[in-house]
Amino acid sequence: MPLVTSEQMLEDARKGGYAVGAFNVENMEMVKAVIGAAQELRAPVMLQTTGSTIKYGSMETYAAIVAAEAKKATVPVCLHLDHGSSFELAVQAIKAGYTSVMIDGSHENFEDNIAVTKKVVDVAKACGIPVEAELGKVGGKEDDTEAEADTNTDPEEAKEFVERTGVSSLAIAIGTAHGFYVGTPVLDKERVSAVKKLVSVPLVLHGGSGLSDEDVRDCIRRGMCKANFATELRAAYTDAVKKLLAEHPETFDPKKLGVVGMEAVKNLVMDRMKVCGCDGKAN
């Protein structure tokens, strides 16, 4: 089916008490793997690209690949800009065919974050495209996005932020981090519950790679409706390729590398979809 926006799938997740899995993809093989997993499990799915991925392959290329693969599927597929760093980048994504965008103004102060987010929302909603924003700082590093320290989201600020910007979903900081964790993460799960009481839009969990299944499930029970996974997909793909080359160093056909990478990513994505509870939820 054609690409859909994230709005209905996230609203269904909010009402149904599960989360939509959102998976960062880097190439055609990962796109095929993620959509293949969604098709097999009958799950709605979001595919995401970050700024560095876009620099590598261009928005137009990823939009074309994802749209082509989604057209062959019978489950809802959304293409999302992850951690959009500017108004201009968000608009570029909309023009390229992305069906959901994130504007990440979390590195700005509260008022400037509101200003840039509202600017994106005004344009995106006129085009029927939902907008995700971030309030508070998720630690760690993902591509070009890096936070020097974690600053968890204030529930009252979250309420004001959503009301003044009109965003469709909100990523909140609760102690998660981008990339792999150093040590065991300490999550402020009560903050999820507190924000949910004051905010009506779906909440988003960033930094899902490396969290325990129980931590992810608990965050979802408390109100997270979208869960992002990136680093562990990259690792699964790369590890599978390394293993093949170690066992068969004579391999030179890139397609054979892609096949093992796809299989590893697909298996991981199916596991994460089951943890999120979105399997069997495709309309």
Per-residue model confidence as pLDDT tens digits over 169-205: 999 999 877 555 555 677 899 999 999 999 999 999 9
Please choose, from the candidates 55, 62, 117, 113, the residue with its C-alpha nearest in 3D space to the C-alpha of residue 87.
117
What pLDDT is attached to residue 138?
63
* 228 assigned binding-site residue: yes
What pLDDT is attached to residue 147?
44
* Rounded average pLDDT over 76-100: 97
- Distance between CA atoms of 229 and 274, rounded to whole angstroms? 13
- Please indicate whether residue 82 is annotated as part of the active site: yes
Which pLDDT band, with edges at 50, 70 and 90, does 136 fall under? confident
- Distance between CA atoms of 159 and 26, rounded to whole angstroms? 34
Q: Is a pLDDT exceeding 50 seen at residue 31?
A: yes
Q: Is residue 143 in some structural domain?
A: yes
Selected catalytic residue, list 82, 143, 150, 215: 82
In degrees and rounded to multiples of 5, residue 26 shows phi and psi of -120, -20
Q: Is residue 281 in some structural domain?
A: no
User: What is the SS3 assignment for 201?
Assistant: coil
Q: Is residue 1 in some structural domain?
A: no
E-strand ranges in 70-179 read 77-84, 100-103, 131-135, 139-142, 145-147, 169-172, 177-178
Q: Is residue 283 in some structural domain?
A: no
pLDDT tens column, 214-227: 999 999 999 999 99
User: Global pTM?
Assistant: 0.92
* 207 assigned binding-site residue: yes
Greatest pairwise CA separation for the chain in angstroms = 59
35, amino acid identity: I
* 134 assigned binding-site residue: yes
* 160 assigned binding-site residue: no
What percent of the chain has a predicted confidence (pLDDT) above 90?
A: 87
Q: What domain range includes position 16?
A: 7-276
Scanning the structure block, which residue is given the tokens 């992810």? 216
- State how many domains the chain has: 1
Please choose, from the candidates 35, 119, 140, the residue with its C-alpha nearest in 3D space to the C-alpha of residue 79.
35
Q: Is the torsion defined by CA of 271, 26, 140, 112 positive or negative?
A: negative
> How many C-beta atoms surround the C-beta of residue 271 within 10 A?
14
Pairing of strands 139-142, 145-147: antiparallel
Q: Is residue 40 in some structural domain?
A: yes
* 179 assigned binding-site residue: yes
Q: What is the dihedral of CA 70, 6, 128, 105, to 10 degrees?
A: -120
What pLDDT is attached to residue 210?
80
* Rounded average pLDDT over 247-257: 98
* 146 assigned binding-site residue: no
The domain spanning residue 246 has which CATH number? 3.20.20.70
* Rounded average pLDDT over 51-60: 95
- Local structure of residue 136 (DSSP, 8 states): S
Q: Is residue 109 in some structural domain?
A: yes
What pLDDT is attached to residue 148?
46
* 178 assigned binding-site residue: yes
* 69 assigned binding-site residue: no
Q: Is residue 159 in some structural domain?
A: yes
Q: Is residue 241 in some structural domain?
A: yes
* 261 assigned binding-site residue: no
Is the distance from CB of 178 to CB of 206 less than 8 angstroms? yes
